[in-house]
Amino acid sequence: TEGAELVDQVIDVVRREAEACDCLQGFQITHSLGGGTGAGMGTLLISKIREEFPDRMMATFSVVPSPKVSDTVVEPYNATLSVHQLVEHSDETFCIDNEALYDICMRTLKLSQPSYGDLNHLVSAVMSGVTTSLRFPGQLNSDLRKLAVNMVPFPRLHFFMVGFAPLTSRGGHQYRQVSVPELTQQMFDPKNMMAASDFRNGRYLTCSALFRGKVSMKEVEDQMRNVQNKNQSYFVEWIPNNVQTALCSVPPRGLKMSSTFVGNSTSIQELFKRVGDQFTAMFRRKAFLHWYTGEG
């Protein structure tokens, strides 16, 4: 297999980069769980980096197979095999799925034919939001480790749903003022989630709101309290203050303020269940299995 042959060279490059760092916080890996490279090579790389740097954070942005838009027949196999690796070796996995991204592009951004560039634009907004506090100063900082500490109640439950507000298309940055209440409302809107699972079918264990721009601390706290009181039934009662906030003073380019949402919700199981069902259907017939047994 190509992965096993290449992985040593890749780890060498990673090691060289890591040696050049003063204070390495962790690794971010972007891969898809449907294809061969992201699922096979990607998870192999994650476990190798884990061996090499056991005490560093491992954050993955994983594109999970979506219910309707499928690009490979063997997606369920690849995803099932790699989720196991992510459960074991990753510290935080941000689940993204192409169909949800398409929906956002079509419904919210009104793009009739979204390109991969448009989808990536959405993902990049979230990736940028999650790592903001590492890069810019702010009133209340957060980083990958803090995020994990606040978001992961049990080590295996580190699969997050992500969202971003305000949603803008690539060219047209909005010219209207957005306010903290608006951002909060958009942020918790199911249509805004970048994974095809509806949080109304589950409950939030924890969630995190990362605000950027000139935002008043008090306003954010009030809004978060407001959300928790209004949607009490969607938050588990055994974690009392389960919304973590972070504030960064530098807004993204072209926007006055923005917010990134990361939620650890039990409804993420829909996503795994869906893949599991497709897996079972194919595995029962032993379809396509010889490709996997042949490669070991």
Q: What confidence tier does 12 reach under pLDDT thresholds 50, 70, 90?
A: very high
pLDDT of 44 higher than 80? yes
Q: What confidence tier does 227 reach under pLDDT thresholds 50, 70, 90?
A: confident
Show me where the domains of the chain are located.
Answer: 22-294
Q: What confidence tier does 13 reach under pLDDT thresholds 50, 70, 90?
A: very high
The edge-to-edge listing of strands for the beta sheet with 204-213 is: 26-32, 57-64, 92-97, 159-165, 257-265, 204-213, 243-248
The residues with which 3 forms a beta bridge, in sequence order, are none
Per DSSP, the three-state class of 110 is coil
pLDDT value at position 35?
79
Query: Which tokens hold the place of 96?
Result: 């993204």
Q: Say whether the peptide bond before residue 76 is cis (omega within 30 degrees of 0).
A: no
Q: What confidence tier does 138 reach under pLDDT thresholds 50, 70, 90?
A: confident
pLDDT value at position 175?
60
Across 53-57, 139-143, 193-197, 288-292, the highest mean pLDDT is recorded for: 53-57
Q: What confidence tier does 201 reach under pLDDT thresholds 50, 70, 90?
A: confident
pLDDT of 29 higher than 70? yes
pLDDT of 174 higher than 70? no
pLDDT of 173 higher than 80? no
pLDDT higher at 295 or 174? 295
What percent of the chain is modeled with pLDDT above 90? 3
Residue 191 and residue 200: Cα distance in Å, rounded?
A: 11
Taking residues 191-219, report their average pLDDT: 87
Cβ 173 vs Cβ 211: under 8 Å: no
pLDDT value at position 1?
65
Architecture of domain 22-294: 3-Layer(aba) Sandwich (3.40)
Q: What confidence tier does 109 reach under pLDDT thresholds 50, 70, 90?
A: confident
Query: Which tokens hold the place of 268?
Result: 């993420």
- What does DSSP say about strands 204-213 and 257-265: parallel, antiparallel, or unpaired? antiparallel
pLDDT value at position 121?
86
Residue 99: which residues within 8 A CB-CB, separation 6 or more? 66, 67, 68, 69, 196
